[in-house]
Every structure is written in structure tokens, then in C-alpha cells.
């Protein structure tokens, strides 16, 4: 997905969406399901109000997205 603040990159072989870069924040969203051997470590949970399975892992839970991404930046209790 491309926006004024972010851009996406896709696999040249299969066309799968691999990641979205957010250069203004120094962040990259990596879609690890597309890369089975990728060593993934979560840093935050976003859109947590929509969760169907609560996750108790000590990481921040965001109502929607960080304020830097144009959303509320509100964190929720675990």
C-alpha cells in the first residue's frame, strides 16, 4: 500500500506483498508469513480493539495505530 508516508514492496517472482516501509518513522512492516524462515520478533500490537484472541506478552497494545502514522496513538491495557 502506498501513501504519502509509506510504500510497499512486492516479490518479483510471485507478486506477494513482502513489506511496507515508513521512512519518516524509520519503521518497516514485514509480512513474515510470506517468508517462512524469517526470524520474527514482535515489537507492538496494532488495531488491538479488533483482536479475537487476547495476547498477554507484555508488548504495547495499540487501539489503532501510532500517532506518527496519523491515528490515535492510544495504548490499551493487556
CA dihedral for 25, 31, 37, 40, sign (positive or negative): positive
Do the bridges between strand 7-10 and strand 75-76 make them parallel or antiparallel, or are there none, so unpaired?
unpaired
The per-residue DSSP string of 15-27 comes to --EEEEEETTTTE
pLDDT digits (tens, 9 = 90+) for 4-14: 788 888 889 98
Supply 28's cell numbers: 518497516
Q: In the prediction, which pLDDT does 40 show?
A: 75
Q: How many residues does the chain have?
A: 78
Strand partners, 76: 61
Supply 49's cell numbers: 480493539
pLDDT digits (tens, 9 = 90+) for 18-63: 888 888 888 888 877 777 787 878 888 999 999 898 889 999 999 9
Amino acid at each position: 500500500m502506498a501513501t504519502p508516508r509509506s510504500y510497499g514492496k512486492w516479490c518479483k517472482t510471485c507478486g506477494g506483498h513482502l513489506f511496507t516501509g515508513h521512512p519518516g518513522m524509520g519503521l518497516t512492516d514485514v509480512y513474515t508469513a510470506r517468508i517462512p524462515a524469517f526470524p520474527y520478533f514482535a515489537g507492538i500490537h496494532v488495531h488491538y480493539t479488533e483482536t479475537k484472541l487476547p495476547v498477554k506478552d507484555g508488548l504495547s497494545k495499540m487501539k489503532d495505530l501510532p500517532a506518527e502514522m496519523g491515528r490515535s496513538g492510544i495504548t490499551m491495557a493487556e
